[in-house]
Amino acid sequence: MTFITGFLIWLVMGLVAAFLGRAVYRAEDTAMALTLAFGVLGAFIGGMLGTAAYVYHDPTPMRFGAMLGAGLGALFFPFLYHLIARKAV
């Protein structure tokens, strides 16, 4: 049950970070669904990287490293996309 709860928390963190990032750094003609997808994807990649350090001990997604990685990934991926999209336009 902790895995499902942790993944749901990562999902919520990704969505919140994507909405926050969309409000702060907005590129022209960017679909909202794409920003949300990058936020959720970033949360899951960051959470997996944060969990990787605990793989031999207790690799649950509720650990501090996993939450920190999910939060940073959820903020970084939409920021990176908007930075690239702004330069391309």
Q: What's residue 74's pLDDT?
A: 86
Residue range of the domain that includes 77: 2-88
The residues, any chain, with a CB within 8 Å of residue 19's CB and separated by 6 or more, are 36, 39
Q: What's residue 35's pLDDT?
A: 82
pLDDT, tens digit (0-9, with 9 covering 90-100), for 41-74 = 988 888 888 887 766 676 677 778 888 888 888 8
pLDDT, tens digit (0-9, with 9 covering 90-100), for 16-44 = 888 887 787 766 667 788 888 888 898 88
Cα dihedral value 11, 16, 22, 25, nearest 10: -110
Q: What's residue 27's pLDDT?
A: 62
Q: What's residue 67's pLDDT?
A: 84
Least confident of 10-14, 19-23, 26-30, 78-82: 26-30
**Structural domains in the chain (count):** 1
Q: At what angle do helices 64-88 and 2-24 cross, to 10 degrees?
A: 30
Residue type, 23: A
Q: What's residue 89's pLDDT?
A: 56
